[in-house]
Structure 1
Amino acid sequence: MSSAMNVDVEDHYFSSNPPPKALAHHEALARDFINQHAAANRRVVLITSGGTTVPLERNTVRFIDNFSAGTRGATSAEYFLESGYAVIFLHRQFSLQPYSRHYSHATGCFLDFLQEDATGTGVVAADDHADELLAVLRKYRAARTRNTLLAIPFVTITDYLHELRAIARLMRPLGPRGLLYLAAAVSDFFVPPDRMPEHKIQSTDATDFLQKQKEEEEAEEEETFDNFDSSPTVPRSKRLVIDLDPVPKFLKNLVDGWAPNQFIVSFKLETDPNILVHKARYSLERYQHHLVVGNLLTTRKWEVVFVSPGRSDRWLRVPSPAWKQVDPEAEAHKPLDPSDLPDGEPAVEIESLIIPAIERLHEEHIKSHQARVDGARS
């Protein structure tokens, strides 16, 4: 698609899909945050995290969603903060967030981490969790004190795209010191507003009496039900049939217009190991950004693959005794077999490997950009 066509599609989408009500407020927060850290010569990363919903009604009751809880984005944010970045955390409302993620979606209740103090008049950390809680609290307080973490929520796919475009544009003055880490699970399809019913889709004919007498027979015949029952015994006229349009691909717009010179990282999640690298390479060639982090649904906590221009594909894998005997050079191009995974969670978070590796690539990007600027001046 040509640049002109990209712009036309962008103009049409954003003009026909209203922005979130809080967009202006979020822009003001992001502008102040970026200006503060630009003045301090600090690198800024925009992390997108969590899934986007697809509303089926304007007064939304029903929507399409995905499984993402925002684990990758929230975890990565902590490691970027430890590396000295300021973080704009554009996240799905109520998804995991940095630091609180350790407790907000824990298997046990958060109250299990607390106990009464010796006097019975206050609350303290439970003895077996005190050190862990203190370490997390100190990191969180440091980010708050230094104002290095700004959290901005979204809910729908349209909210997400409006917020992403606005914040990416605000990051332009950062030049190559800006980094976009696009870890959100973005919906591929949506219902355009002009095809979206205003009110809740009805599942019965209980409101038919409100129709005019002359329309009753037709309404009875054409009433659409949302029972999602595909059984042949259910007439097609009684099912909910959703007509979705593809969400325009704006990554090229991001690369060329919204955030030129920024270092841009996207993610590719697949379930078929035979197509993962191919799909990642296709995305890289199509959008001309800097890095695709590929991961498989079943092994995403254990390994990822870096696909970037001019480099061999690089697999990052959490160390484990289960595959100590594997020759890393001979097997580097082969994804793990899920049946070989150890029981339980990895001993370390794979984001602790991903973020330092991206930081090194970002440093190369900054130096390369500066070399081009210096060469143009000479």
Structure 2
Amino acid sequence: MDSHIPAPPTRRLSTGALKNAIDRSTPLLPPALEIDEHNYFDNNEPPEYLESMAKTAEEFVRFHSKNRIVLVTSGGTTVPLENQTVRFIDNFSAGTRGATSAEYLLENGYAVIFLHRQFSLLPYSRHYSHSTNCFLDFMEERDGKVVVDPQYQLEMLSVLRKYQHAKSQNLLLLLPFTTINQYLHTLRALSEILQPARSRALFYLAAAVSDFFVPPSKIPEHKIQSKAGGSKLTMILDPVPKFLNRLVDHWAPSAMIISFKLETDSEILLSKARQALDRYSHQLVIGNLLQTRKYEVVFVEPDLPEVWIRLSNKENADSIEIESKIIPAVIERHTAWIEKSKDTE
């Protein structure tokens, strides 16, 4: 029954092209200041749906006023190249880490706000919506009716029950974004909405956020014509302000903040993670390499040695998800953060 075509290998640059690539060893951009926040949000209009979305999120947070609540960001942001967008720059992310982590957080009693790239993977439906697990492969026709193939019924029943529990208990709020601007406006709004939860709030920032964007003053209104620039198209993108420090210090100062650091070069992964901690003063960076992200990650915390979380060969062979190990370790640290924060709340 398994007729899936294997995914093509990840495209790699030639040695010559690598020499001309961006230097990944360069320092991180400086943290955003208050004036950077004002400049960005004053000059980039919020999405039209932001107000209604905020009301929905406020109701969700009030409903869970006594519970632990986590904002999981997931998937990649786009950078439109035209105002009436035809072309855009995208970030690599299917949303697997975020969607999978959200399920394990829900199973451990967290209420989850899932801020995700539209059409990326979602908790529970991820098992059957990816191209390697087409939901039609789990079904068959019997007596003119569509039924679940018996060999998959127990697995699908387990997923269905977990989904129905999260839905019936109002534990999962799905909020989509597409562009970097939509993401940043929504993140800031949700951060302020979550402030009443104080240390019970957890930010699990697994989204792949664009580093550069085209500001409104530079973006063309209509589709860029293919011959507009002759044989080449040259565009100048501005750096996206690094708002993580604003989140830590001002938007949600009592919450525990977790960011992710994805690299392709093992020699700079830890240094980049340490740089992020030093620069933004949050609680945890989860580092991973593109090549091994499904099998190992590293926890980098202030003033503590790195902690590697890995799947054994047997666990990997048994299709154990590394998020089943990541999330208990995260919860352990969040519990310690809540206990530590009791004296100041």
TM-score, normalised with respect to structure 2:
0.89
Identify the residue that residue 66 of structure 1 maps to in structure 2: 91
Are 2:273 and 2:300, in contact at CA under 8 Å, matched by a contact in 1?
Answer: yes
Give the one of 39, 55, 61 matched to 1:12. Answer: 39
Give the one of 325, 329, 341 matched to 1:353. Answer: 325
Identify the residue that residue 295 of structure 2 maps to in structure 1: 302
Identify the residue that residue 256 of structure 1 maps to in structure 2: 249
Superposition CA RMSD, Å: 1.7
**Higher mean displacement: 346-355 or 73-82:** 346-355
Identify the residue that residue 19 of structure 2 maps to in structure 1: none
Q: Does 1:182 align with 2:209?
A: no
Q: Does 1:283 align with 2:261?
A: no
Identify the residue that residue 193 of structure 1 maps to in structure 2: 216
Quote the offset at 1:106 in angstroms.
Answer: 3.8
Are 1:86 and 1:148, in contact at CA under 8 Å, matched by a contact in 2?
Answer: yes
Q: Residues of 2 paired with 1:107 and 1:256: CA distance?
A: 42
Describe the shift of the 1:60–1:138 C-alpha distance in structure 2 as closer, same or farther (beyond 3 A): same
Give the one of 233, 258, 261 matched to 1:240. Answer: 233
Q: Residues of 2 paired with 1:364 and 1:263: CA distance?
A: 10
Aligned residues with identical type, % of pairs: 56
**Superposition pairs for residues 335-374 of structure 1, below 5 Å?**
347-373=319-345
**Superposition pairs for residues 87-106 of structure 1, below 5 Å?**
87-106=112-131
Q: Residues of 1 paired with 2:246 and 2:136: CA distance?
A: 46
Q: Residues of 2 paired with 1:2 and 1:355: CA distance?
A: 30
Q: Look up the equivalent residue of 2:321 and give its one-letter code.
A: E
Q: Residues of 2 paired with 1:262 and 1:346: CA distance?
A: 35
Are 1:301 and 1:346, in contact at CA under 8 Å, matched by a contact in 2?
Answer: no
Deviations 1:103-137 (A, max 9, x none): 101415321211234x42x3221111111111111
Identify the residue that residue 31 of structure 1 maps to in structure 2: 58
For these two proteins, the number of residue pairs brought into alignment is 317
Quote the offset at 1:356 in angstroms.
Answer: 0.4
Q: Following TM superposition, where does structure 1 have runs of at least 4 consecutive aligned residues deviating by more than 3 angstroms?
A: none
> Structure 2: 5+ residue runs without aligned partners?
1-28
Q: Residues of 2 paired with 1:184 and 1:109: CA distance?
A: 24
Q: Look up the equivalent residue of 1:362 and give its one-letter code.
A: H
Deviations 1:231-266 (A, max 9, x none): xxxxxx421112111000000000011001100000
Q: Residues of 2 paired with 1:202 and 1:372: CA distance?
A: 58
Q: Residues of 1 paired with 2:257 and 2:226: CA distance?
A: 44
Q: Residues of 1 paired with 2:167 and 2:261: CA distance?
A: 31
Identify the residue that residue 116 of structure 1 maps to in structure 2: 141
Quote the offset at 1:6 in angstroms.
Answer: 1.0
Q: Look up the equivalent residue of 1:71 and give its one-letter code.
A: T
Equivalent residue of 1:26, what SS?
A: helix
Q: Look up the equivalent residue of 1:369 and give its one-letter code.
A: S
Equivalent residue of 2:266, what SS?
A: coil
Identify the residue that residue 17 of structure 2 maps to in structure 1: none
Q: Look up the equivalent residue of 1:132 and give its one-letter code.
A: E
Q: Residues of 2 paired with 1:108 and 1:141: CA distance?
A: 21
Equivalent residue of 1:282, what SS?
A: helix
Identify the residue that residue 49 of structure 1 maps to in structure 2: 74
Equivalent residue of 1:274, what SS?
A: helix
Q: Look up the equivalent residue of 2:178 and give its one-letter code.
A: V
Q: Residues of 2 paired with 1:311 and 1:56: CA distance?
A: 42
Quote the offset at 1:2 in angstroms.
Answer: 9.9
Deviations 1:281-330 (A, max 9, x none): 000010000000000000000000000112111000012259xxxxxxxx
Q: Residues of 2 paired with 1:362 and 1:371: CA distance?
A: 15
Equivalent residue of 2:343, what SS?
A: helix
**Superposition pairs for residues 314-353 of structure 1, below 5 Å?**
314-321=307-314, 347-353=319-325
Are 2:263 and 2:288, in contact at CA under 8 Å, matched by a contact in 1?
Answer: yes
Q: Look up the equivalent residue of 1:305 and give its one-letter code.
A: V
Equivalent residue of 2:329, what SS?
A: helix
Q: Look up the equivalent residue of 1:107 and give its one-letter code.
A: T
Are 1:52 and 1:156, in contact at CA under 8 Å, matched by a contact in 2?
Answer: yes
Describe the shift of the 1:250–1:346 C-alpha distance in structure 2 as closer, same or farther (beyond 3 A): farther
> Structure 1: 5+ residue runs without aligned partners?
205-222, 225-236, 323-341, 374-378
Q: Residues of 1 paired with 2:319 and 2:132: CA distance?
A: 18
Describe the shift of the 1:2–1:187 C-alpha distance in structure 2 as closer, same or farther (beyond 3 A): closer
Q: Look up the equivalent residue of 1:172 and give its one-letter code.
A: Q
Identify the residue that residue 103 of structure 2 maps to in structure 1: 78
Q: Residues of 1 paired with 2:150 and 2:234: CA distance?
A: 54
Asked which structure has the greater CA Rg, the reply is 1
